[in-house]
Chain A
Amino acid sequence: ETGVTQTPRHLVMGMTNKKSLKCEQHLGHNAMYWYKQSAKKPLELMFVYSLEERVENNSVPSRFSPECPNSSHLFLHLHTLQPEDSALYLCASSQSETGELFFGEGSRLTVL
């Protein structure tokens, strides 16, 4: 298994759908992150979990709901999204909140 695995790789959803993105890390790390990458913009940090507790939430709309059931798994639940939410969603992990970051391949989301 590769270090950080994200599923699905591609997702198309309507504005009324509910879907979830999944991230799993096999590196033994204790911090996990969700980032949003839109075209021509720097990466935007959405959420940080450290030791399964949410330690950062960067003013993300409530239509994005994270869940971290254990240190190896992270979910991003999506509900009533807008077309401007279409982006590449990247999961990352690190050993502690100051360690080297390792990213997954991303989930490309398109909201119609």
Chain B
Amino acid sequence: KQEVTQIPAALSVPEGENLVLNCSFTDSAIYNLQWFRQDPGKGLTSLLLIQSSQREQTSGRLNASLDKSSGRSTLYIAASQPGDSATYLCAVRYSWGKLQFGAGTQVVVTP
């Protein structure tokens, strides 16, 4: 059974600290992995897409790594700000097309 797990479920950090969010998957036959942000009651905003052939992707303060052999992806957010408070979800697309979401990590950045 393919599973996508995000730990921790919730995280609170003071402003300025770096955020480290984890996503693990049980099947290494992935096609790509996508990180999203969701604000309360809103849709999902795409942050980064990593193809299976890539080791990492960067966009501004965000950096996502991918290690297929260990079944892990990590999203790093540098110098966190209160505006980074949201739920972060990862989604794994497997080689045969199935897309599976994790339950998300709820982040609070305190001023």
Task: Give me the interface of A with B, judged by CB distance under 8 Å.
Answer: 4, 6, 40-43, 45, 88, 90, 92, 97-98, 100-106, 108
Decide if the interface of chain B is mainly helix, strand, loop or mixed. Answer: strand
Which residues of the partner chain B approach A40 to less than 8 Å between Cβ atoms?
Answer: 103
Given known A-B contacts A88-B41, A101-B91, A41 and B99 have beta carbons under 8 A apart: no
When C-beta atoms are compared, the residue in chain B nearest to A41 turns out to be: B103
Task: Give me the interface of B with A, judged by CB distance under 8 Å.
Answer: 4, 31-32, 34, 36, 41-46, 49, 89, 91, 93, 97, 99, 101-104
When C-beta atoms are compared, the residue in chain A nearest to B89 turns out to be: A43
**C-alpha gap A79/B4 in the complex (Å):** 33
Given known A-B contacts A42-B103, A98-B31, A98-B97, A105 and B42 have beta carbons under 8 A apart: yes
Can you list 24 A-B contacts with CB-CB less than 8 angstroms, sorted by A residue number? A4-B43, A40-B103, A42-B4, A42-B103, A42-B104, A43-B89, A45-B99, A90-B43, A90-B44, A92-B44, A97-B97, A98-B32, A98-B93, A100-B32, A101-B44, A101-B46, A101-B91, A102-B46, A103-B36, A103-B45, A105-B42, A105-B43, A106-B41, A106-B43
**C-alpha gap A41/B4 in the complex (Å):** 13
